[in-house]
Amino acid sequence: MSTTETQKIEELANKEYKFGFVTDIEADTIPKGLNEDVIRQLSAKKQEPEWMTGWRLKAYRHWLTMEEPKWPNVKYPPVNYQEISYYSAPKSTPKYKSLDEVDPELLDTYKKLGISLDEQKMLAGVAVDAVFDSVSVATTFKGKLNEMGIIFCSFSEAVREHPELVKKYLGSVVPYTDNYYATLNSAVFSDGSFVYIPKGVRCPMELSTYFRINAANTGQFERTLIIADDNAYVSYLEGCTAPMRDENQLHAAVVELVALENSQIKYSTVQNWYPGDKDGKGGIYNFVTKRGACRGTNSKISWTQVETGSAITWKYPSCILQGDNSIGEFYSVAVTNNMQQADTGTKMIHLGKNTRSTIVSKGISAGRSNNSYRGLVKIGKKAEGARNFSQCDSLLLGDKCGAHTFPYLEINNPTAQVEHEATTSKIGEDQIFYLNQRGISTEDAVSLIVNGYCKEVFKELPMEFAVEAQKLLSISLEGSVG
Amino acid sequence: MLLEINNLHANVEGNEILKGINLKVNAGEVHAIMGPNGSGKSTLASVLAGKEEYEVTEGEVLYNGKNLLELSTEDRAREGVFLAFQYPVEIPGVSNTNLLKTAVNEIRKYRGEEELDSMDFLSLLKEKSKLVELDQKFLSRAVNEGFSGGEKKRNEIFQMAVLNPKLSILDETDSGLDIDALRIVANGVNKLKTKENATIVVTHYQRLLDYIIPDFVHVLYKGKIVKSGGKELALELEEKGYDWVKSDKAEAVV
Ligand SMILES: Nc1ncnc2c1ncn2[C@@H]1O[C@H](COP(=O)(O)OP(=O)(O)O)[C@@H](O)[C@H]1O
Ligand SMILES: [Mg+2]
């Protein structure tokens, strides 16, 4: 790469994070630290029933026996769990009936992020459950969904209003003993979304949540549970941006999906958390456990993710294909720039007969970042006729970044068909010159090439999300190739 | 004068490839540059288009009275310089339509014109694709991906037709074309010819010049134009071969 190109890379890498600002709202916070009392307090503040408190405590006691995993291909200073505050809610809660009642400063924050609720409300077909720190502050479109028997509410509300559903499914996909971060989440989860689609109902709109991390030193422990009953369908969108922070912030969410007979869940994420400055200072640690269980025959779960943010991402949305003929899909674009580190991928666990899975992973590394794909395809003894197709591509921008692929295969049934393809490529100067010669600036050229590279994933996203994803990608790669 | 090259010297990786090129091109003219492999034809085209790895060490290039060498590659394109590449690159996942739409609108923005709306843009594409008899299906296919050699060349001329440049440089557009494709491509180029634009055709066979009749022919050899003349020079070259120029080089006409 020529010197002018290198200069341009550096110049543009220095652009500030567009969404870095802190909303000044008095927060109601439990003092820092973690012990059984803190968990009891937290549970009490949320007016939880005893069984919920008990479950949290069981998880906490188990967590004390666990060790933080060392195997992801990422490096970070140790997290001091006693320095985190486990509960923070904007003071002007609880629920608002209309937007007029919402703290204007909060609404202003959303406006800066380009997700004004006014607009969202009018955007036909999208119901918004906005999570601001730990508590849901606004839920729209509820009436319409109610009529169809669809439950779409904050997790806290579900614990109070639909305890039988929560009891039945919480921890049924990701048990509280699952892994270090999921166990921590089970003990201290703050809030999140709950969705239940009853038998035979096709959710008529994309359900969507925007997460934000705000109050300083507040760990975020979202808990999401989505259940599609027999013959149901739902498409759920998760979008994130976070304000600029000086200290690293831990984010350990758990998402559980349950798909019953003939049902389908589409879960799409566009994740744009603050990645830290160009030296890697600040930024979010994103250690997430996302897993879906295809319990019913012919059920289907698709994960689509576009990851451009976070200082460190550690995330493997997975599918457990229990039902015969069930289908798991994973479409991912993971972008790392500057000092970002991502270790992401998926697990497809084939248990039922004729189960199928597709993995399309597109990694893009720029700056001095590191991007790893880690994928497990496991075919159980009884999974007659199981099939998997995996395609893992890496695109390098510049020569200081890295891409690593770690595919793991465990095949216990001889009838399985597993196919794996992997490629690594660089954005060629020839491609950029070609586009420059057609009158296209280098920035637009990179954006065109990268969007072309990600096309297979973007086409899986709902329309309005795909447009946003393309914009995000361009923003996060601005200037990463001269 | 549309293009004026004076004493142009250029290096690549420390080796001097162009060793004092002089060339004048007026609007309305077609110039052919011929020469054996390795003589510097593509290098000249790349330097004019602004490829960074070529370092200009001496000389100047005036384009429409402007110092061309000071402009970025994209600004040269926006000013109307078009290069049909000898080896067009593939850009996976990016459709021809998408590339051209971005290009057309960036060029229009540069010129202070409004963006074309989708309808106008699509009808422009349709009209121009007919000019080079390019099947509509190529519009939605990824740029050059899986195209045959001939399809790539035809696609270059299609892009040229859409972008409507003032100065077109066609680098060996004839290589890899069968006789029918050659006729189609040449036909397209001829139809695009006006009194306002000019074309530089780079080739090492005279075959293409049966279809695109040049006003001037120049022979490039070892980084210099060693002979210039009318279209009959091409025939003479064909007959006598490049050895003739090589031995004759002392009498170079500039
Ligand atoms: N990028 C490059 N790096 C090194 N040498 C080059 C490069 N481009 C061209 N050359 C050299 O310059 C000379 C002229 O090449 P070129 O302009 O492609 O010739 P032509 O198009 O007339 O066949 C050749 O000797 C070639 O090897
Ligand atoms: Mg050449």
DSSP B160-223: HHHH--SEEEEESTTTT--HHHHHHHHHHHHHH--SS-EEEEEESSSGGGGTS--SEEEEEETT
**From CA A199, how far away is CA A177, in angstroms rounded?**
30
**From CA B188, how far away is CA B154, in angstroms rounded?**
9
**From CA A189, how far away is CA A134, in angstroms rounded?**
9
Residue-level pLDDT at A9? 39
Cβ proximity of A43 and A28 under 8 Å: no
pLDDT digits (tens, 9 = 90+) for A107-150: 555 555 555 554 444 332 344 555 544 344 344 466 678 889 99
pLDDT digits (tens, 9 = 90+) for B213-244: 999 999 999 999 999 999 999 888 888 887 87
Mean pLDDT of the A327-333 span:
96
How many CA atoms, within 13 angstroms, populate the side-chain half-sphere of residue A433?
A: 21
DSSP result, A328-343: EEEEEEEEE-TT-EEE
**From CA A389, how far away is CA A454, in angstroms rounded?**
17
Interface check for B106 against chain A (CB to CB < 8 A): the answer is yes
Q: Residue A440: which of B89, B92, B103 has the nearest Cβ?
A: B103
Interface check for B7 against chain A (CB to CB < 8 A): the answer is no
Chain A residues near residue B142 by CB distance under 8 angstroms: 452
pLDDT digits (tens, 9 = 90+) for B143-171: 999 998 889 999 999 999 999 999 999 99
**From CA B33, how far away is CA B41, in angstroms rounded?**
7
Local structure of B252: helix, strand or coil: coil
Residues lining ligand 1, judged by CB closer than 6 Å? B 12-13, 17, 35, 37-43, 53
Local structure of A345: helix, strand or coil: strand
- Work out the percent of chain B whose per-residue pLDDT is above 90: 74
Residue-level pLDDT at A216? 40
Query: How many angstroms away from the CA of A427 is the closest CA of chain B?
Result: 10
Check whether A22 has a pLDDT greater than 70.
no
Mean model confidence pLDDT for chain A: 80
Cβ proximity of A74 and A341 under 8 Å: yes
User: In what side-by-side order are the strands of the sheet with A206-212?
Assistant: A135-139, A126-132, A206-212, A233-241, A264-272, A300-307, A327-336, A356-365, A387-396, A417-426
Check whether A27 has a pLDDT greater than 60.
no
Radius of gyration of chain A (CA): 22
Question: Going by CA atoms, what residue is nearest to atom 26 of ligand 1?
Answer: B38
pLDDT digits (tens, 9 = 90+) for B84-114: 999 999 999 999 999 999 999 999 999 999 9
Beta bridge partners of A197: A228
pTM above 0.80, yes or no: no
For the CA of B43, the closest atom of ligand 1 is 17
Local structure of A396: helix, strand or coil: strand
Which A residues 441-470 touch B at CB under 8 Å? 441-442, 444, 448-449, 451-456
- Residue contact A452–B91, C-beta within 8 A: yes
Q: Which residues, 6+ apart, have CB-to-CB distance to B221 below 8 Å?
A: B35, B36, B39, B242, B245, B246, B249
pLDDT digits (tens, 9 = 90+) for A83-94: 877 876 654 434
- Look at residues A365, A477, A393 and name the one whose alpha carbon lies nearest to residue A73: A365
Mean pLDDT of the A451-455 span:
90
Radius of gyration of chain B (CA): 18
Residue-level pLDDT at A429? 86
Local structure of A154: helix, strand or coil: strand
Helix B96-110 × helix B149-163 angle, to 10° = 30
For the CA of B44, the closest atom of ligand 1 is 17
ipTM reported for the complex surpasses 0.90: yes
